[in-house]
Structure formats: C-alpha cells, structure tokens
Amino acid sequence: MTLSRRALGGALIGAGIVGTGAYVALRDNPLLRGLTGNATELRGFVGGEKQPYLANPQVVDLLRRHGIVLHSTIAGSVEMVRQRSLIDQRPDFLWPSSSVMTEMAKMSGLSIVRDQTILNTPIVIYSWSGVVEGLVGAGLVTRTADGHYEVDTGRLIGAIASRARWQDVGVPSLYGAIRISSTDPNRSNSGFMFAGLMLSALTGSVPDAGDLDKHFATVRTVFEQMGFKSPSSGKLFDQYIAGGPGSEPMIVGYENQLVEWAQADRTRWERIQAGKGARPLLIYPRPTVYSAHPLLALTGEATALIDALLTPELQAIAWTNHGFRGPLGEQTASAPPGLAELLIPEVSATLPLPGAPVMLDLIQRLDAGT
C-alpha cells in the first residue's frame, strides 16, 4: 500500500516544526524582538533522523551565535527533492540523508547555490547478542580482532534470498526463514539506501540499467520477505527496540541511531550492558554505503549554515551525542564511553550507491512489484 505523495507531503508539512517552536511563537513580540538581533532566519526541510540533533539546545545556541535561526520542517529525503508541494514552498535549504538526493534535486529543476556533505553515517544492521552469537557460530557473521561484527553483504543477501532458515544459520530459537526488516524504500532513506546497497553489492561495482535487470529479482525477493515495512527509519528503530529479538531479530538502520538511543538514557544503556538479557548489537555489512547528509543551500543566505555546521564544536556534538560522523566518515571527537568498542573507527569497505536514474528505476519497480 503506497500513500499518495500529495497526502504524504501534506501530512509532513503539518508535522512538527523542529526545535524552534517557542521562538516562532514569540518572535513577533516587541518585548522580545531585541533578543533576536540580526539573526538570519532560514527555512528548510530536513530528514527526521536529524531532528534530535537540530533540537539539541546546545546546537540551537551555537547556531544562534553564528547568527542563524532555523525553522526546519521534517520531510522524507525522497519527497523533499521531488515533491512539488514541498519545492513550491521555496525553502532556503534542504538537508536530505543521501548524496543521491543532490543529483535528484537537480533532476527536479532545483537550482543549488552550494552543496556540501555535513555529516555521514553508514548503513548498518542491528541485531541482538543472542542472535549474533549464533550467526558468528555458523560463520555468517565474523567478529573482528577489535571486537566489531561484520557480515559479507553478498552472503547475507544470498542467505535471505534463498530462504535459509534461522536454524541453518545457528539460531534455532527463532522459527522460520531468516529475515531482515528495512523501511519502505519508496518512502524512507534507509530502505532506499539498503535497496541501492543490495544492487551495488550484487553487481560488485556501480550498477547500470543492465545490472538492475539482472539482479532485480533478488532485491525484490528480499523486500517481499520483509512483509510490513515501516515508513520511517525512526519508527523502525523504535519497533526494534520495543519488540526485542523475537519480534525484530535483524533490521537495517543507521549507525548513529544506537549512539543516539544510548545517549538519550545512559542509565538504561548501562543497565542493558550489565544485564543478562539480550543486548542490541550492530553488524557492519562489508561493503556498506554511507548515508551522507548533504546540505543543499538554495539561497545565498543558506550557505552560512553550511559553514556553521562544519565548525568543530557542532561536528563534535553531532558525533558524541547523536552518532553522526564528519564529512569524510571520521569520528569527530572521542566516542562516548561504553559505546566505543561497538563502533568501527573507520568504515573502510564502502560502495557508492547506483546513480540517480538507476535508483529511481529500482524503487519504482519495487513499488510496482509489491
């Protein structure tokens, strides 16, 4: 079931204004106007995964010191670069979650004054300690010398597409065929990127239209087996965390989501680490793809936002509290305690996503086929 894009866009526009709501309510109040000084007010659409970062009071404050006040509205990455009703609002900037979106924005006729990747986070697989132990035992997942978990992307896709059963991959406590869940690739970026990753991994290089024809059936099988696909990466992660290993044994997500979740409640995190129950774990697919977060400045004024977000202070908060790496995939500060051992210092095996025309064709064919 696919929502009409128009209905979806309407809902997204209606959906939460991030962070600066109080400011919006009070900015016209003459008593308070003096406080705002000569700040540049910028309006734009951002992917929902960056909402907590932009709402972080430290971030709001630092941006303010750079003379910037943001009025950002959450929108899906694919929608913000493609949907007329959003584009027609003439935003100052767009902040989607994949570099392909820059290309797609140009295909939609948007003129970009400047674009720059601000943050990066790799696509990872989330699972649970008990499940991962089984997968390691069966040889599907490997534990590196420094204690991180990796899975060969091609082998994982092969196991899912061939309907291997959990018991065949070392996890007899789960019934049925091995399964992974991602978000709906037609609505949400992490599912979109996972679709691209699968195609790139199956091709072994940058896929063209012919590769899409050759491997589409495999990609479709993996998505079909997911059944219900959440419309947003945040909702899927919430489902994973709420449901536990029985309900969501493996999901596709962003590396930053676990960091952000752990940092949101340190007591809970420490308790889980110390407890005897299942612990959430991340597995790095080899190769994986980076979800780059390019900021597209559509007006001259918005270029200042790019410069501000690249300053070391704002970059460090992005990593430490929200798990986003810097523009080159680097950790921009020391990793938060209790998390460092889970996070790869450097993600070396990455692939580029297929180009925009192939990606568009891929998601349209997935939409038609399910």
Question: Would you tell me which residues interact with other proteins (CB under 8 A)?
Answer: 1, 3, 7-8, 10-12, 14-16, 21, 29, 31, 130, 163, 165, 173-177, 179, 224-229, 231, 235, 238-239, 241-247, 261, 265, 268, 271, 275, 278, 370
- Provide the β-strand partners of residue 59: none
| Distant-in-sequence, close-in-space partners of 22: CB < 8 Å, separation ≥ 6 | none
In terms of CB distance, is 170 or 352 closer to other proteins? Answer: 170
Q: Are 363 and 195 in contact (CB under 8 A)?
A: yes
Single-letter code of the amino acid located at 287:
P
Sign, CA torsion 313/314/315/317: positive
- Residue 260 Cβ vs other proteins, minimum distance, rounded to whole Å: 13
CA atoms within 13 A on the CB side of 72: 28
In the bound complex, what is the minimum distance in angstroms from residue 189's beta carbon to other proteins? 17
Task: Tell the smallest beta-carbon distance from residue 10 to other proteins (Å).
Answer: 7
**Quick count: other Cβ atoms within 10 Å of Cβ 179?**
17
Is the Cβ of residue 4 or residue 111 nearer to other proteins in the bound state? 4
Q: Count Cα atoms within 13 angstroms, Cβ side, for 38.
A: 1
Alpha carbons 271 and 287: distance in angstroms, whole number: 32
Choose between 14 and 109: whose C-beta lies nearer to other proteins.
Answer: 14
State the minimum distance, in angstroms, from the CB of residue 96 to other proteins: 19
Q: How far apart are the first and last CA of the chain?
A: 8
Closer CB to other proteins, residue 142 or residue 225?
225
Is the Cβ of residue 169 or residue 358 nearer to other proteins in the bound state? Answer: 169
Nearer to other proteins, 145 or 274 (CB): 274
Shortest gap between Cβ of 103 and other proteins (angstroms)? 27
CB of 313 to other proteins, least distance (A): 29
Quick check: 304 and 227 in contact, CB under 8 A?
Answer: no
Q: How far apart are CB 356 and other proteins at their closest, in Å?
A: 26
- Tokens 């790869």 belong to residue: 344
CA 91-189-128 angle, 5° bins: 140
Which residue, 137 or 246, has its beta carbon nearer to other proteins?
246
Using CA of residue 84, residue 228, residue 255, residue 242, what is the dihedral sign?
positive
